[in-house]
Amino acid sequence: MTSNNHPTPNTKSIATNTTNSYKSNRNSDIQLSKSLSWVLRHAAPSVGLQLSPDGYVPLAEILALHHPRFRTKDNKPKYTVEDVIRVVKNNDKQRFRLEFRYVGGRGGETAAASSDDDDASSSSSSSSSLGTENSGGTLPKNHKTCGNNDINNIGSSDKGARDSKRVLCIRANQGHSLQGLEADQLLSPLTIEQLSNPTLSIIHGTSFKAWEEHIQHEGLSRRKRNHIHFATGLPSRQTTTVGDTTKSDNNNNVPPISGMRSSSEIYIYIDGAKCANDGIPFYQSDNGVILTAGVNNEGMLPTKYFAKVVHATSGRTILWEKEES
């Protein structure tokens, strides 16, 4: 009998290493997503980045930041363009959007669409002047955008866009606290007809604590953000797209992409027709979130615009003292 001299592979060790590698990569992607949200929604000016009116900045400038969120301990770039593309593609809430854009750098030069070791965070003046066209204005007909549906079209093999005068830029779709952004450019305004459509659900999810302590008395507040956020469906129901004439299917277990925490304990339904009648601007982001800045400088949406308030678990309607119209 011939003996087998080949060592038996340690399948348990291989499986453990594979699992650990997966967890490490997943944790890295989560950290990258959080860092992108932080810089694009809240911190761009403080690290020397200048966003366009609709929230874009060249991706290379973010990757080159000399900030602990984007640098390793030995001061090398922590992430690559491919890392960002993967995170944008796989983000369950579709928080970000990638787009090739014209960028007017110093002396009219175009910025490179890849990361390097240059310090892009030294001052706001180092950030490229980002526009939607060579001379500003609307996007040219051949501009290229990239959401989650077509993100596979962007990558290192996309030579056409990379060889042109456009560079890969990124923005957060919503959730900003930064000033200076133009809502009409960052978001899609809802028409009176869309906002008044009875098939459109506008729902804010919150906690018992927040409802009891202030929302039932004062209404909703945007707080430190630019807008109050709403979902177009419940976490256990099908989301409703603006303009869709089909109501949400209670038996369809497809949650809204974004706009509400799945842990919400209270659902506040908004009277869209009343908001439209009173001229309150509402918008929708690329990832389907409905937003409004409210009705005054404090960013409040009073309780008179609440259609109903529902207990998330039991489904029972909650009564409250509604503000008079």
Q: Of the ranges 146-150, 162-166, 247-251, 282-286, which one carries the lowest mean pLDDT score?
A: 247-251
- pLDDT at residue 246 above 70? no
Pairwise pLDDT comparison (239 vs 284), residue with the higher score? 284
- pLDDT at residue 244 above 60? no
Angle of helix 11-38 relative to helix 81-90, nearest 10 degrees, comes to 90
* Most confident option among 19-33, 40-54, 232-246: 40-54
- pLDDT at residue 84 above 50? yes
Interval 227-239 mean pLDDT: 79
Fold of 25-175: Arc Repressor Mutant, subunit A (1.10.10)
pTM: 0.67
Interval 148-161 mean pLDDT: 50
Pairwise pLDDT comparison (14 vs 97), residue with the higher score? 97
- pLDDT at residue 322 above 80? no
The domain locations on the chain are 25-175, 187-311
> Do residues 213 and 300 lie in contact, with contact meaning Cβ atoms separated by under 8 Å?
no
Q: What is the pLDDT of residue 297?
A: 84
Interval 162-189 mean pLDDT: 88
Q: Which of 257, 268, 176, 183 is nearest to 222 (CA)?
A: 176
- pLDDT at residue 285 above 80? yes
Interval 171-178 mean pLDDT: 92
Q: What is the pLDDT of residue 191?
A: 97
Interval 286-296 mean pLDDT: 92
DSSP letters, 134-147, are TTSSSPPTT-EEE-
Q: How many CA atoms lie within 13 A of 156 on its CB side?
A: 8
Q: How far apart are CA 279 and CA 324, in angstroms?
A: 17
Give 263-284 pLDDT, tens digit per residue.
Answer: 899 999 999 999 999 999 999 9
Q: Give the model's confidence band at 325: pLDDT under 50 very low, under 70 low, under 90 confident, else very high.
A: low
Interval 36-61 mean pLDDT: 96
With a pLDDT cut of 70, the percent of the chain lying above it is: 66
- pLDDT at residue 211 above 50? yes
Q: What is the pLDDT of residue 149?
A: 42
Interval 58-79 mean pLDDT: 96
217-to-115, 305, 309, 323 alpha-carbon distances in Å = 50, 13, 13, 8
Q: Judging by DSSP bridges, how do beta strands 290-292 and 228-230 pair with one another? A: antiparallel
DSSP letters, 7-55, are PPP-HHHHHHHHHHHHHHHHHHHHHHHHHHHHIIIIITGGGT----TTS
Backbone angles phi and psi of 284, in degrees to 5:
-130, 135
Q: Give the model's confidence band at 2: pLDDT under 50 very low, under 70 low, under 90 confident, else very high.
A: low
Q: Of the ranges 82-96, 156-170, 194-208, which one carries the lowest mean pLDDT score?
A: 156-170
Average pLDDT value for the chain = 77
Q: Give the model's confidence band at 165: pLDDT under 50 very low, under 70 low, under 90 confident, else very high.
A: confident
> Do residues 270 and 288 lie in contact, with contact meaning Cβ atoms separated by under 8 Å?
no
Q: How far apart are CA 289 and CA 275, in angstroms?
A: 17
Pinpoint the alpha helices (H) of 39-110: 59-63, 81-90
Q: Give the model's confidence band at 139: pLDDT under 50 very low, under 70 low, under 90 confident, else very high.
A: very low
Q: How many residues does the chain have?
A: 325
CATH of domain 187-311: 3.20.170.30
Q: How many CA atoms lie within 13 A of 138 on its CB side?
A: 3
